[in-house]
Structure formats: C-alpha cells, structure tokens
C-alpha cells in the first residue's frame, strides 16, 4: 500500500485547511492509500518531520502550504531520494506557479500518486540556508517585512505593503563578485534567482531554470514608478535597459549599508554581505 506523509501548514494563506484535509481523506480512501498529516506549529517542525519520516517510512512527502512550507520540508529532504510533492495553499505559491502546478487538488494528488520525479537545484545561502525559488536584497524584501508586520493577509495586506515600500524605496550601493569579475552598481534590488517569476507572475528572469545547475543574479538598477507598480501587481515580463542578469554558480554580494533580505518569502532581517552557491540536483521533486 502506498504511504504518503502530508506536511500541512494550518495558517498559510490565512485560509482554513479543513476542506483540503477532507479532499485528501476522500481521495486516499478511494485509492486505497495510507496517509498521515503532520500540522506545522512553528516549533521544532524540522525535527518532527524527520521523526515522522523515520517512523512511518512514507513513499512520498507532500508540502501543503506556500513557499515557506515547501522550503521547510525541502530542508529536511535535501540530498535524499524520497520524492517531494506540493499542494499549493499559501499566500505566495511562487514555486508552484513556476513549475506549472495545477490548482485543482485532485490533479495534484494524481501526480503525487504517479510519483514521477525530477531533481532540481537549490541555492545555498551563507552555508546555512537554502533557496528553492527567489531571494532578494532591497525593495521586495522590504515589502515582505511590511506584509508580515501588517497582520493583513490577502490582496489588501499586499497592496498596503507595496504602497508603503514604494514611498520608502531607496537605492543600494552594491558590489557583486561571481568568481570571475567584480562589478559595482546602484540598484533598487538584487535577486538571487533559481526560477523565472515571482508569485505575482512578474517575469524577472526569463532564462531561469531550476534544473540547469546555475542561478542568476538579477540586478534591478532603476525602474520608473509605473514599471515598479506593474512588477508588484501584474503578471508581465519585466524588460528594461536598467536590468542586468548575471549567470553564476557562486557569488559574493556586499552592500554599503545594511539592507532588507528575504529568502523564498521569509524575511531574514538586514544584511551587509551574502555568499550564495548552487547545489545542483539536490532535491527530488515530483513532476506535474
């Protein structure tokens, strides 16, 4: 009998998960699948997930939530061969959107049961954190901080965060070294991109591919206010002579003054320096 462990974040996206749990229970009963659900609490989740995996020995592990939930489970499963699935159910589902996941839960479960998997890259940051999707220094990280502080979920909280961020935006003085050359730029934000687009659909890195063994450093030097608003609210391709894309396998980034920093939608505080390097094909992810 197939065994699946679901790791469910009960508060992701500000939406109750009872309906999702009911769909999982109905589907697994119909298809004779043994399942367990672990509800994240925010305390000792990694250790608990490791314990559950060791205890029940599942054939698949599935993250039910947003990018933060996916990242949490991925940290436990890094460098292993156990397939990781996704049911997108968070405020931000950037990686799910990047991979073209269906929004229908039954379709997701069908793919999870099939179990066809692919190995994807992750970005290792400062030798202690990982990024599956997008990390950045500057404006977007500032927005993530404001969104977290507001207590408002959904579009209203996001819109308020964008407005506050745009009113307080400032240029960073950045030095970037990719092991071959060093450049200095004034920029609104610098992105470490393992993918192409943000959860809003804004296409920031058209050539991004989480399977190609590299990531891209995207330097947004200047954009008009209208272009910035479009970037944060619309699904569009971001093109400008003020955007620079640098392919890399490792990079060191230094900013003159401490700047806001986020990893896969999680605000990490202010930083002055970041080291990032690719971990090629280090995560086994179910194909949809």
Domains of the chain (ranges, CATH numbers): 3-115 (3.40.50.10330), 129-280 (2.60.200.40)
Name which residue leads in pLDDT, 255 or 98.
255
Question: For residue 256, what pLDDT band results from cuts at 50, 70 and 90?
Answer: very high
Residues 238-250 have a mean pLDDT of: 85
Has residue 59 got a pLDDT over 70?
yes
Question: For residue 238, what pLDDT band results from cuts at 50, 70 and 90?
Answer: low
Q: Count CA atoms closer than 13 A to 5's CA, side-chain side.
A: 22
Amino acid 37: pLDDT: 98
Calculate the alpha carbon distances from 260 to 22, 75, 98 in Å. 39, 23, 24
Write the pLDDT tens digit of every residue in 36-49: 999 999 999 999 99
- CB-neighbour burial class of residue 65 (10 A; exposed 0-12, middle 13-18, buried 19+): buried
Amino acid 232: pLDDT: 59
Q: pLDDT averaged over the chain?
A: 89
Amino acid 78: pLDDT: 97
Check: CB of residue 158 under 8 Å from CB of residue 149.
no
Which residues, other chains included, contact 252 with Cβ-Cβ below 8 Å and sequence gap of 6+? 176, 177, 273, 274, 275
Residues 114-140 have a mean pLDDT of: 95
Which one of 148-152, 168-172, 263-267 scores highest in mean pLDDT?
A: 263-267
The pTM for the full model equals: 0.88
Write the pLDDT tens digit of every residue in 171-214: 899 999 998 899 999 998 999 999 998 877 778 898 899 999 99
Amino acid 179: pLDDT: 87
Name which residue leads in pLDDT, 87 or 242.
87
Check: CB of residue 13 under 8 Å from CB of residue 91.
yes
Amino acid 93: pLDDT: 86
Strand positions, DSSP E, 66-143: 84-88, 117-125, 129-131, 134-138
């Amino acid at each position: 009998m197939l065994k699946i462990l679901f790791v469910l974040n009960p508060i992701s996206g500000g939406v109750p998960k009872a309906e999702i749990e009911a769909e999982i229970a109905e589907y697994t009963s119909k298809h004779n699948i043994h399942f367990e659900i672990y509800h994240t609490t925010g305390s000792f989740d990694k250790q608990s997930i490791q314990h559950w995996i060791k205890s029940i020995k599942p054939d698949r592990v599935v993250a039910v939530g947003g990018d933060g939930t996916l990242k949490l489970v991925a940290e436990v499963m890094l460098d292993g061969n156990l397939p990781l699935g996704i049911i997108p159910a968070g405020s931000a589902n950037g990686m799910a959107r990047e991979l073209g996941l269906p929004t229908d839960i039954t379709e997701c479960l069908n793919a999870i049961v099939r179990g066809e998997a692919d190995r994807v890259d992750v970005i290792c940051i400062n030798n202690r954190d990982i990024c599956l999707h997008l990390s950045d220094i500057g404006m977007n990280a500032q927005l993530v901080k404001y969104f977290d502080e507001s207590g408002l979920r959904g579009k209203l909280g996001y819109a308020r965060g964008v407005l506050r961020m745009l009113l307080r935006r400032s240029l960073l003085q950045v030095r970037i070294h990719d092991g071959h050359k060093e450049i200095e730029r004034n920029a609104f934000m610098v992105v470490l991109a393992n993918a192409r687009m943000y959860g809003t659909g804004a296409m920031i890195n058209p050539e991004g591919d989480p399977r190609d063994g590299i990531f891209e450093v995207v330097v947004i030097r200047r954009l008009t206010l209208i272009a910035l608003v479009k970037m944060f609210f619309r699904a569009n391709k971001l093109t400008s002579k003020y955007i620079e894309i640098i392919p890399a396998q490792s990079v060191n980034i230094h900013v003159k003054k401490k700047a806001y920093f986020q990893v896969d939608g999680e605000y990490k505080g202010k930083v002055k320096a970041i080291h990032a390097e690719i971990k090629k094909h280090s995560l086994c992810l179910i194909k949809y």
